[in-house]
Amino acid sequence: MGIDVEGLVSIVADLLIGILVLFSVRRLLWVMASWLRRRTLTETGRWPEVLIAVAFRNEQDSLPCLLSSLDALKYDAERLSICLVDDASTDASTDLAETWARERAHVRLKILDENVGKAEALNRALASAACRPEVMVVYDADQCPCPDSLHRLIEPFADSRTEAVCGYRRPVFRKINAIVAYVCLEAWTHQLVNLAAKEALGLD
C-alpha cells in the first residue's frame, strides 16, 4: 500500500497555514486592544512626587549619556529627586557622578565601599530618600531616557489599580544586520503591542 505523499504534504501545509492565520488574527486583536484609551494624569491634573534611582558600577562609558538625559527630563523640579548609588566602582564612574551631583540640589549620591549588587543598591537609594516618594523610577546606567519618558511612565498611575509600569526600551546598536533588525522588531512588538494589549484587557 503506497503513501500519498502529495496528499500528506498538502495536509501539513494546510495545518501550517491555519496556525499562521490564527497567530495573525491573535496579533491583530492585540494591536486593536493596545489602542484602547486609558485615563491619564494629564486629565486629572496631579503629578506625584517621583524618586529616580540609578545603581551603577564601572559605567564610565555609559554615564555621560544617562546624566545628560536626566538633565533633559521634562518634569516639575519640585516634585522630582534623583539618587545615584555607586556600587563600589573602580573606574572613573565615581568622579563623573560626583561632579554631576555636586551641581544639582535635587540629586543625591551614595558611594558604597563594597559591592552589594543592584537590588540592594536600589533599596539603599530608596532608604536614603529625604521623604517617601509616591513613585520610584529606576533607570539603568546604560539607558538614555527621552525627555518625555518620565511623563509617559507616570501617566498610567492615574488608574489607582496600577502598581508598576515598564517603559519601552529601544535597542541601539553600533552595527545592524538582518538578525539584529529582526530582534529589534520582536522586542518592539512584544513591548508596544503584546504587553500594551494585555494591560488594556486586564490580562496581566
Q: What is the CA radius of gyration of the chain?
A: 23
Give the number of other Cβ atoms within 10 Å of residue 93's Cβ.
23
| Residue 26: band (very low, low, confident or very high) from pLDDT cuts 50, 70, 90 | low
* CA-closest candidate to residue 84, choices 111, 48, 45: 111
Q: How many Cβ atoms are within 10 Å of 52's Cβ, its own excluded?
A: 23
CB 153 within 8 A of CB 74: no
With a CB cutoff of 8 Å and minimum separation 6, the contacts of 124 are: 85, 110, 112, 116
Q: What is the pLDDT of residue 22?
A: 74
pLDDT of residue 73: 96
Which residue would you say has higher pLDDT here, 120 or 22?
120
- Higher-pLDDT residue of 27 and 51 is 51
Q: How far apart are CA 99 and CA 148, in angstroms?
A: 25
97-153 tens-digit pLDDT: 999 999 999 999 999 999 999 999 999 999 988 778 899 999 999 999 999 999 989
pLDDT, the chain, mean: 83
Cα–Cα distances in Å, from 70 out to 73, 81, 82, 99? 5, 11, 9, 14
**Residue 187 binned pLDDT confidence (cut-offs 50, 70, 90):** confident
